[in-house]
Structure 1
Amino acid sequence: MLFLSQFGSSKFKDIMEIVHASVWERVKLCFLAVVFGWYLVLRRLLKWAWNPNQFFVLRPRDKPPPCLVDNTFGKHSYIKLKGIKFHYVEAGNKEKPLILLLHGFPDCWLSWREQIPILSEYYRVVALDLKGFGDSDKPLNKSSYRIETLIDELKQFILSLGEKSCSIIGHDLGGLLGWYMAAIHQDVVCKLICISSPHPNFYWNTISGETIFSRKWVYFSTLPFLPEIDVLKEDLAVINDTYKHLQLTEQKSNKDYVEAYKYAFSRKEDWTGPINYYRNLPYTRLGRDGNQQITTKTLLIVGNADPYVSLENIIQSTEYVEKCNVKVVSGAGHFPHQEKPQFVNESIIKFLVVINLISLGQLVEKTAPTKSIVSSWLGSLSTTVKYGNQVFDAVHKRTNGVVPLSRKVPEQTTT
């Protein structure tokens, strides 16, 4: 947004803190919300006039699809924190380190269906429905979605699981929350993986296009009532547009994940909570001074065909982290963990496990079927390092030196 775009050149603070927009900046954002709100309303009215019979069609969905309620991926559990009920799916051994999976918008825990089975072999995996999403509680008041409240609840959620720290993997909006967690609660986050999610000070500058992820729609979302009505039009056509990549997958697997998402967002109140994130978060950023950076080891994953997130913003995000690796997924859009799950899973495992030689030795001894995979990774590790450093040298030159000099590490490769 406006005030966020000015932060890239500012100085760093001794203690990271959440900075809120000034009154004048809020006035400008409200003005843009009204302008683009009326723009989108007029466009919708023209579309309604052209085809009135289909515009307000919304099919009833009273029964959840099997993939949302069965225990194939893990155990469905609930926990209450300060009166707010959180739903999550848990898999893996509780004695192992915790990994917290945070989905994006519009999404739910089901976003991680390709990652849960793999990660649960080595970790305790918890895929959370963020507040306002899925089967978690959906407070309607905007103040419930202030960033300070959200990250405090995430910290309390981790502690309620009997853990003092964990690694976080977040996509889109979930990655944005992961950034704030790593900056404000560095003692809680061991490692951070952000998928299709630049640093908060670049996040709002990268969105474009004419979809639900567009900047115009984000301005529009700050208005009351209208955004919730808009997303329900044409039987949740926004879900069809967002998850086009699932059509081919569903034909092969015979699982209607798109219908599962439509069930999760089938009512007006299913959208108020998620949209409230966009009524709050554009007004915040991370402030700092001096030379302090996020100390949590971080991996950034982005698809090279992502229409909403630019590689430039991902590279610029590395300025805010002491040790940051980048993985570019060839042929993937905004959902690389769903579009190219095998590639993304291997990247995650390498970053979390294989780089640690002690953990790697335990991984090899754990089970015979994984030996060939790990051996293959080890056999190609030296080649990967050499190739990755060459690619990163090229990116470093093309981005005028925004990549940290400590970039040459095994995981940091681009494809």
Structure 2
Amino acid sequence: MTDTAPAGDRVSGLPLQDLAGFTHRFPDAGGIRLHAVEGGNPAGPAVVLLAGFPQTWWAWRTVMPGLAERFRVIAIDLPGQGNSDRPDDSYDTHTVAARVQAAVSALDVPKYWLVAHDIGAWVAFSLALKYEERLHGVALLDAGIPGITLPDAIPTDPERAWKTWHFAFHLVPDLPETLLTGRERAYVEWFLTVKALSPKTFDSAEIDHYAAAIAAEGGLRASLAYYRDAAESARKNHEALERGHLTVPLLGISGSHGSIPDMAASLSPWADNATGVVIPEAGHFIPEEQPAAVVDALTAFLDRR
């Protein structure tokens, strides 16, 4: 079951962002509603996009038009993200993957390409392990995967620690909420400014949008929950990999100045068919830093398959 956007906002105080040629949808996802933005060629292959922390589907806004001529494009806010519902618990990536798959099924998509960044890539990896038969292939952008390539220890070397320090901080009970409530914009701005290659990648309005999504009801709690449930995500990933490796085509997309220098190499021990590409002049937020290059890399991957 799915519906189009009703009058007003699904999440109180958080306006829906419109993108020309695309429509807001709210498919049922196993008892909660996820927010999806759909457009493009209805007769083309479906491409599902997932964003990460501290973002929403809006992270794909400059990539989606480039894919829309040939593909049916669907960007989905994860549970707790953007205008999706914000359940109280169950943010391990296998539970979230089941909800994303339910939403995709409700949108009448039998098989699709899955493209995901950051925490979205955590979910996509678990989804590929759980629902491989529903995928043509998967592309993962600049992300360590819980239990797989995400390090167990946070480096203390200042040259590396700035990339991953927040993993430990987000795990501390209550303290992040105490320090960040009312200061969400400053926190989000740090990530968007420091982790992009150019500190001018995001303008003030874009920072405002992402910060508002986290500041809205339940947003901060949900954002932290993905990290707090990462150990459960890792455990379930290990269990799934004991049954077999990924066999669908996997594309690892790295930024020249991102967090993971070679996504394909990091994942190839667990994927039978992994290839990679490095996007020049990009930090962590590759879809917004180099959207044209991302469109080219994805189109080449999809065409080759």
Same fold, judged at TM 0.5 (above): yes
Would you say 1:350 and 2:296 are equivalent positions? no
What does 1:4-403 align with in structure 2 at a 5 Å threshold? 68-72=16-20, 74-140=22-88, 142=89, 144-200=90-146, 201-205=148-152, 209=160, 214-215=164-165, 217-232=166-181, 234=183, 236-244=185-193, 245=196, 248-249=200-201, 256-267=205-216, 269-285=218-234, 286-287=237-238, 288-289=241-242, 292-306=244-258, 308-311=259-262, 314-353=264-303, 355=304
CA contact 1:204–1:282 (8 Å) conserved in 2: no
Partners of 1:283 and 1:187 lie apart in 2 by 24
Q: How much does 1:180 deviate?
A: 1.1
CA contact 2:283–2:289 (8 Å) conserved in 1: yes
CA contact 1:206–1:309 (8 Å) conserved in 2: no
Which protein is bigger by CA-based radius of gyration? 1
Residues 219 and 283 (structure 1), Cα distance of their counterparts in 2 relative to 1, 3 Å cut? farther
Aligned partner letter, 2:170? S
Deviates more, 1:237-246 or 1:180-189: 237-246
Q: Secondary structure of 2:139's match?
A: strand
Q: How much does 1:348 deviate?
A: 0.8
Q: Secondary structure of 2:44's match?
A: coil
CA contact 1:88–1:129 (8 Å) conserved in 2: yes
Q: How much does 1:337 deviate?
A: 1.6
Unaligned runs of 5+ in 2: 1-11
Q: Secondary structure of 1:81's match?
A: coil
Residues 154 and 88 (structure 1), Cα distance of their counterparts in 2 relative to 1, 3 Å cut? same
Residues 204 and 188 (structure 1), Cα distance of their counterparts in 2 relative to 1, 3 Å cut? farther
TM-score normalized with structure 2 length: 0.83
Q: Secondary structure of 2:95's match?
A: helix
Residues 221 and 310 (structure 1), Cα distance of their counterparts in 2 relative to 1, 3 Å cut? same
Residues 70 and 154 (structure 1), Cα distance of their counterparts in 2 relative to 1, 3 Å cut? closer
Q: How much does 1:328 deviate?
A: 1.1
Partners of 1:314 and 1:349 lie apart in 2 by 17
CA contact 1:181–1:189 (8 Å) conserved in 2: no
Partners of 2:145 and 2:46 lie apart in 1 by 23
Aligned partner letter, 2:84? S
Q: Deviations over 1:84-112 (max 9, x none)?
A: 11111111133322111010111101010
Q: Secondary structure of 1:325's match?
A: strand
Name whichever structure is richer in helix by fraction: 1
Aligned partner letter, 2:275? N
Q: How much does 1:205 deviate?
A: 4.7
CA contact 1:96–1:124 (8 Å) conserved in 2: yes
Partners of 2:199 and 2:248 lie apart in 1 by 37
CA contact 2:93–2:122 (8 Å) conserved in 1: no
Partners of 2:22 and 2:268 lie apart in 1 by 34
Identity of aligned residues (%): 24
Q: Secondary structure of 1:86's match?
A: coil
Report the aligned-residue RMSD. 2.5
Unaligned runs of 5+ in 1: 1-61, 357-415
Aligned partner letter, 1:228? E
Partners of 2:191 and 2:286 lie apart in 1 by 13
Q: Secondary structure of 1:352's match?
A: helix
